[in-house]
Amino acid sequence: MFGRIRERYREAKHKFANVRVDASSYGPIPGKIKAVQARLDEIFSQCNDLVIKEISCGKDGRIKILVVHIEGIVDRRLLNQDVIHPILDYLPSVQSEDSSSIYQQLSKCIVISSDIKEVHEMWQAVNFIVSGDAVIFIDGEDRALVVGVKSPEGRQVEEPDTETSIRGSREGFVENLPTNMVLIRKRIKNPDLKMEIMQLGERTKTDICICYIKGLANEEIVREVKERLGKINTDAILDTGIIEQYIADNRLTLFPLVGNSEKCDKLAGKLLEGRVAIICDGTPYVLTVPYLFIESIQATDDYFDHAFFASFMRLLRLLALLTSNLLPALYVALVVFHHTVIPFKLMITLAASQQGIPFPPFIEALLMIIAFELLREAGVRMPRPIGQALSIVGAIVLGEASVAAGIASNLMVIIVAITAVCSFVVPPLIRATMLIRFVFLAAANFLGFLGIMVAVVAVFTHLCTLRSFGIPYLAPFSPLTAHDLKDSLIMVPIWAMITRPKILRQQENVRGVKGSKRQEVDKGRDSQKG
Partner 1 sequence: MGKTRISGLQLFMLLSGFLFGSTVILAPALGAKNDAWLAIIIGGTGGALLMLIYAAISLLNPSKTLVEILKEKMGKVLGSIIAVLYIWYFIHLASLVFRDFGEFICTVTFPETPMTVLISIFALGVVYGVNGGVEVMGRMGELLVPIIPTFILIVSVSLITVNDFTAFLPVLENGMGPVLKAALSYITFPFGETVAFLMLFPNLNRKEKLKKIVFVSAALSALISIVIFFRDISVLGSDLMSRVTFVPHSTTLLFPEANVDPLVDINLMIGGEAKIGVCIYAATKAISQVAGIENYTNLTRAVGAFCVVLSVWDFENVLDLFSWTERIYSYYAITFQVIIPLILLVLSLIKRSKPAEGSDADNEGVIASK
Residues that bind partner 1 (CB under 8 A): 337-338, 340-341, 343, 446-454, 457-458, 460-461, 464-465, 472, 474, 477-480
Quote the CA–CA distance of 416 and 479 in Å, as a whole number: 35
Quote the CA–CA distance of 345 and 450 in Å, as a whole number: 25
Q: Which is nearer to partner 1, 73 or 489 (CB)?
A: 489
DSSP conformation class of 156? P
Q: Which is nearer to partner 1, 269 or 472 (CB)?
A: 472
Q: Which is nearer to partner 1, 426 or 443 (CB)?
A: 443
Q: Which is nearer to partner 1, 77 or 338 (CB)?
A: 338
| Least distance CB 466 / partner 1 (angstroms) | 10
| Least distance CB 399 / partner 1 (angstroms) | 30
CB 29 within 8 A of CB 143: yes
Q: Which is nearer to partner 1, 149 or 475 (CB)?
A: 475
Q: Which is nearer to partner 1, 164 or 478 (CB)?
A: 478
Q: Which is nearer to partner 1, 390 or 454 (CB)?
A: 454
What are the Cα distances from residue 176, in Å, to 40, 172, 182, 206, 404? 27, 12, 10, 11, 52
DSSP conformation class of 28? B
| Least distance CB 274 / partner 1 (angstroms) | 22
Q: Which is nearer to partner 1, 170 or 338 (CB)?
A: 338
What are the Cα distances from residue 476, in Å, to 271, 351, 485, 501, 524? 18, 44, 6, 9, 24
| Least distance CB 528 / partner 1 (angstroms) | 16
| Least distance CB 331 / partner 1 (angstroms) | 14
| Least distance CB 470 / partner 1 (angstroms) | 13
- The CB density around residue 504, as the number of other CB atoms within 10 Å, is 23
| Least distance CB 277 / partner 1 (angstroms) | 28
CB 26 within 8 A of CB 43: yes
| Least distance CB 448 / partner 1 (angstroms) | 7
Question: Quick one: three-class SS letters along 345-413?
Answer: HHHHHHHHHHCCCCCCHHHHHHHHHHHHHHHHHHHHHCCHHHHHHHHHHHHHHHHHHHHHHCCCCHHHH
What are the Cα distances from residue 462, in Å, to 10, 318, 478? 31, 18, 13
Quote the CA–CA distance of 5 and 338 in Å, as a whole number: 50
Phi/psi at 464 (nearest 5 deg)?
-70, -25
Q: CA 394: distance to chain centroid?
A: 32
What are the Cα distances from residue 329, in Å, to 324, 336, 385, 406, 440? 10, 10, 36, 21, 6
| Least distance CB 336 / partner 1 (angstroms) | 11
Question: Considering just the CA atoms, what is the radius of gyration of the chain in Å?
Answer: 30
Q: Which is nearer to partner 1, 25 or 461 (CB)?
A: 461
